[in-house]
Structure 1
Amino acid sequence: MKPGDSTIPKFYGLPKVHKEGVPLRPIIAFRSSPTYNLARDLAKRLRPLVESSERMLSNSTDFVERLRGVNLGEDDCLVSFDVKAMFTSLPQGLIRQAAMSTVESSPEFLDKSKLTAKELMGLVDLCLDSTFFKFRDKIYHQKVGTPMVSPISVVLAEIAMQRYEEEVLKDAPPSLKLWVRYVDNVFVIMKKEEVEPFFERLNTKNEANQFEMEKEENGRLPFLDVMVTRSGSTLTTGVYRKDIHTDRLRDYGSCHPATHKRTHKPKNTLHRALTKIKDTVSQADRMGVVYDIGCKDCETHYVGETSKKLATRLLEHQRAVGRRDMSSAILRHTEETGHEMDWQNAEVKYGDPYRPVIRAKYHSRRFETAVLGIGERNRDSKQQEYHSKCFSESN
């Protein structure tokens, strides 16, 4: 749970091109937050509290299984409800109250967690109160809802929704045949004449939780990526694709380059130019990168990879040189040649946090001159062996 090399998370939005008006889905790049590790640990601890709900769906396959054996009457109606902007609209008071009530009513969970309910809620409060983010060089504090992409957001939202669900279903009409939910999407089967009154009660129960409704058309209703269709008194299912889906995919077994098969959209389009709303991150603040440090006096380069910020990693290199740490390839080069490294012009070559060592291997082959090596901190024996193979041609 201890924070590592952290920065203030950046805020940006992703356009929902399938919705009218193209609203933005707010996103906070939470991985760089000081509370990211804490939020991830709490999410893991709290997740067992929400997995036992009979109404919660785990995926589309689970949804299809729930529809088996459902018998429809002529006056039954298929309906879906969708919470508007659930993560950013849930009141934090409701989240805290629901979380405390859920934790206190689970003595077995508290025994296993080795923390009291007060201690757990203190950590939850810390995550909810530390929702600072940066947008266009200004710092903001999110006071409503949970931050998008935070590991704990889904769990806390699920706890709050389950509590809210219990209150709502107390007033549900007896004709309600099915109520299943995936995060903020609800699939319901009930009598036609009761749909509108029930929908009104949903939106008056809590002003912060406002639902949108979609009814079946011609006996068909999409839910998640499933198209549900009436077939007499039973239901059939098929694959559903939104209108913007092109159904064009490259065969992964083809001879196209792997990078083309992973993504084949052009980099420069009018849409990308108009929706480029992410703040630019400076090279010094980038994390999970492959970087290059050149020598001022010769054409030798040091290629390294780090999960930290580039500025932090460069400072570690400079300190290693300052304390004459002979395990440093940079120090050995400067000692043997009397040269000086060009720290000011160190640059990021690749921003790929998942395959940095492989990226460094490819980058090193671009140099005809010597490559000093790659940082070897925190590598196990297999990684060391792989590293030596990567740079055997350059050393």
Structure 2
Amino acid sequence: MGSPLGVLFANFFMGMVERKVFSTTRKPPIYTRYVDDIFVLVRDQRELEDLKTTLQRVSGLNFTTENSVNGQLPFLDVKIDASSQSFKTGVYSKPSNPGLCLNGNSECPSRYRKSTIDDYVRRALSHRSDWNRTHAELDRITQVLVNNGFSNKEVQNVINTHLDRWYRPPTDNIQTGHKITIFYKNIMSSNYRADEDAIRKINGKYVRPSNSALKVLHPPLPGYPRDSEFT
């Protein structure tokens, strides 16, 4: 297995290469990089080959290039469409992707099942440039998840939760700047929810803010008033 510092070293090395290359070579109007994957906008094929040759000469590495087809090009898991006057983006899935993920009938904690759906939905919302592409991706991932044993209801509940958060306007009566995060060490077990509930009850009973006007920032527990005196 590689070193956990591998990504850091790769970024450091490529940063030094880019500094040297672009000190003597014109930098393209769009040049972005993730570790060793580069997305670049050039005027023609000759400019692309010149940039590739210079990067190889300075770094000692071999680079491969992939040109756009009909103005479309995948970059990592993002599909970029430059066929019009602006860039449009969506989720890219390789043609060889079999559409497999964690099975919905697996014997695992429920939070793992939910996080699998969460990852698909978050990517659909973050990678899209318009809602038509978002809805198309949500339909696609729903089919993928159903094929892997998840129920339609389970998938739709997670999608609705994310969309509600996406559209929710800012609330004026929420106090900001006074949130305190309490960290605790726990072990992986199926009884983790009981531990979390116990900690919330302890907070609700014994923790008081210095400012009595502050309100609770999360839903109250059963048996506690809505305007609990902790945050």
TM-score, normalising length: structure 1: 0.27
Larger Cα-atom Rg: 1
TM-score, normalising length: structure 2: 0.44
If asked which structure has higher relative contact order (CA below 8 Å, sep 6+), I would say 1
Structure having the larger proportion of residues in strand:
1
